[in-house]
Amino acid sequence: MTRLRIAEIFGPTIQGEGALIGAPTVFVRAGGCDYRCTWCDSLHAVESRFRQDWAAMETGAVWAEVRRLSGGRPLTVTLSGGNPAIQDFGPLIANGKAEGYRFAMETQGSVAQDWFASLDMLVLSPKPPSSGEDVDWARFDDCLARAGDAECVLKIVIFDEADYLWAREAAARYPGLPLYLQPGNHTPPPAGAEDGPLDLDGITDRMTWLMERCLADGWFAPRILPQLHVMLWGNRRGV
């Protein structure tokens, strides 16, 4: 049976961002990532120094915990990370779909897997210049190709003008994908911490700037959304 590196499983809560914002969900957060974004808000699920806190769980055990948390009532299961695409979540998805659950996953689009086609929604979130990472668009296209009939959407985090201009170019590559923009959170919790300071005024200011910037440019394609979970619970983990 497939073994997975799991940083945390929690919920039910609501999806805090993107196309499923506000939807009830259980999160399965994978441990491990092939990126090291400068503003990462989940370093506890990314850096190998926290590996001792990750659980090596068989697929059946992960699924049992999802069922326990949801009371056996089907909802959406969100696969996040880190980058969940570097592991094999295909068997978990098969278990859940057999019981009426839906699956969404967010990834930066750097690793493609055949099991993407089993997802109900694939959220592709390429990282802008402020992340310090470079997007390999060939790999990104491969992720889209492997998704098959899964619903695919594009989500980009915006911190500054350079990110905004980059997002315009990235979105132009995929005009058929629904597009979601969100202002970045400059005050994620320190690595390994349960909580951290929250600059809510700063987030609101960036949200306002981003909205006004898009409207002034006549760029009406994106939906501009906040990180709802951050506004409700700050930088706390597990909500």
Q: Where are the domains of the chain?
A: 3-233
d(CA 79, CA 20): 13
Question: 219 near 211, Cβ under 8 Å?
Answer: no
d(CA 139, CA 144): 9
Please tell me whether residue 151 adopts helix, strand or coil conformation: strand
User: Residues, the chain, total?
Assistant: 239
pLDDT at 131: 95
d(CA 194, CA 206): 24
Question: 149 near 197, Cβ under 8 Å?
Answer: no
- pLDDT averaged over every residue in the chain: 91
pLDDT at 193: 47
186 compared with 24, residue with greater pLDDT: 24
Mean pLDDT, residues 141-150: 98
d(CA 226, CA 204): 8
Radius of gyration of the chain (CA): 17
Confidence check: pLDDT of 194 > 60 = no
Confidence check: pLDDT of 7 > 90 = yes
Confidence check: pLDDT of 62 > 90 = yes
Q: Are strands 151-158 and 179-183 parallel, antiparallel or unpaired?
A: parallel
Confidence check: pLDDT of 237 > 80 = no
Mean pLDDT, residues 232-237: 63
Mean pLDDT, residues 96-124: 98
pLDDT at 192: 46
Please tell me whether residue 13 adopts helix, strand or coil conformation: strand
pLDDT at 88: 98
The class level of CATH for 3-233 reads: alpha beta
Confidence check: pLDDT of 195 > 60 = no
Mean pLDDT, residues 193-210: 74
35 compared with 188, residue with greater pLDDT: 35
Mean pLDDT, residues 82-86: 97
Percent of the chain with pLDDT over 70: 90
* pLDDT confidence bin for 89, thresholds 50/70/90: very high
Please tell me whether residue 132 adopts helix, strand or coil conformation: coil
Confidence check: pLDDT of 177 > 80 = yes
Residue position matching structure tokens 């009406």? 220
Global pTM reads 0.90
Angle at 119 between CA 152 and CA 57, to 5 degrees: 135
